[in-house]
Amino acid sequence: MTRNARYAGLIGLLLPLIALAQDASAPAPPAVTAEPELPAIVQVTGVGTLVDYAAVGRLLGAVEGVRRVDVTEADGVTVTFRVLVRGGSAVLDRALESASQLVRSEASGGRLVYEYRH
């Protein structure tokens, strides 16, 4: 084994220990009571192309507290998403009020319904 290989091996062993030591010396973040992550069902009309689909997915995913966006149904120009968001559908609805591309249409059976305008 060459000298450089030994140094590389030693550094590879020491780096995780150094990282642990730095983490241990950092103060613990204050405990925050977070809202639970809850699913929100969001139905969006006006999604005519793959570009529209991607844009709507990005808009939903960009909302603070959103952890996951999944498509549950696509039918013509209407796409239904299941969005896992901290605080649930009420929080998501408030956050999307400022999104000019998604205009609130109505609520239907516990779903948030929007029209996509591009």
Tell me the DSSP string of 9-58: HHHHHHHHHHHHHHHHHSPPPPP--PPPEEEEEEEEE---SHHHHHHHHH
Q: For the chain, what percent of residues have pLDDT higher than 70?
A: 73
**Residue 118: predicted pLDDT:** 84
The residue segments making up the domain with residue 107 are 37-116
Domain count, the chain: 1
| Phi, psi of 115, deg, nearest 5 | -110, 130
What's the Cα-to-Cα distance from 80 to each of 57, 59, 72, 87, rounded to whole Å? 11, 14, 6, 19
Bridge partner residues of 104 (DSSP): 114
Q: pLDDT digits over 82-98, tens only?
A: 999 999 999 999 999 99
Looking at residue 72, which CATH number applies to its domain?
Answer: 3.30.70
Q: pLDDT digits over 32-49, tens only?
A: 567 899 999 999 999 999
Residue 52 in domain = yes
Residue 87 in domain = yes
**Nearest 10 degrees: Cα torsion 24, 30, 31, 35:** -120
